[in-house]
């Protein structure tokens, strides 16, 4: 699927690491949302990227912005991953239907059964304001910060 800046972002409702359902629409009118898709929990680059966000969380998550990380791992793997790394943001499971949310954002890799590295900033009205698709390469936090500052 191809998304366009300025258009509504696809809504979703999937479980977090505590099996609680989280929807994009639940933030509408309340917070901007930084969605960051990553391929696999417990892998070097994915862990490193999310730990960089964790270590500078106030720059990404505050009264105006909510960070949400998503992969196609099970919610049980997400829970262990989030606990081990001390993530203070939702880590969502796009496990079933497998990769449905990643597909709706155009970042699902069918041949590997996982999400690619894609990041999306959605404003409080649910409109896509920024995206970055790096596929397998690591993302730079400076890109996130610049996008958040532009809201």
Hunting for tokens 């969502």 — which residue is that? 92
Positions marked active-site: 46
| Rounded average pLDDT over 69-87 | 98
150 SS3 class: coil
Does the pTM surpass 0.85? The reply is yes
For range 89-99, the mean pLDDT: 97
Nearest to 129, CA basis, from 108, 105, 150: 150
User: Is the Cβ–Cβ distance between 25 and 19 less than 8 Å?
Assistant: no
Q: Is 9 helix (H, G, I), strand (E, B) or coil?
A: coil
User: In this predicted structure, what is the pLDDT of residue 64?
Assistant: 95
**What is the DSSP-derived secondary structure letter of residue 61?**
S
Domains of the chain, earliest start first: 13-149 (3.40.30.10)
For residues 129 and 146, the model is more confident at 129
Other CB atoms closer than 10 Å to residue 80's CB: what's the count?
14
pLDDT score, position 142: 86
What pLDDT is attached to residue 134? 84
Burial 125-138 (b: 16+ CB within 10 A, else e): ebebbbbebeeeee
pLDDT digits (tens, 9 = 90+) for 4-54: 999 999 999 999 999 999 999 999 999 999 999 999 999 989 999 999 999
pLDDT for res 5: 96
CA angle centred on 41, ends 130 and 148, rounded to 5°:
20
Q: Is the model's pLDDT at 1 over the cut of 70?
A: no
């Amino acid at each position: 699927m191809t998304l366009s800046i300025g258009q509504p972002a696809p809504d979703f409702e999937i479980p977090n690491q505590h099996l609680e359902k989280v929807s994009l629409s639940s933030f509408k009118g309340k917070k901007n949302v930084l969605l960051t898709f990553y391929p696999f929990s417990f892998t070097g680059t994915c862990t490193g990227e999310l730990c960089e966000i964790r270590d500078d969380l106030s720059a990404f998550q505050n009264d105006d912005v909510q960070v949400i990380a998503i992969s196609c791992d099970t919610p049980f793997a997400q829970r262990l991953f989030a606990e081990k790394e001390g993530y203070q943001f939702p880590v969502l499971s796009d496990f079933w239907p497998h990769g449905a949310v990643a597909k709706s954002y155009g970042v699902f890799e069918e041949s590997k059964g996982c999400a690619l590295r894609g990041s999306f900033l959605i404003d409080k009205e649910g409109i896509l304001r920024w995206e970055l698709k790096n596929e397998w390469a690591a993302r730079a936090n400076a890109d996130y910060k610049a996008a958040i500052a532009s809201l």
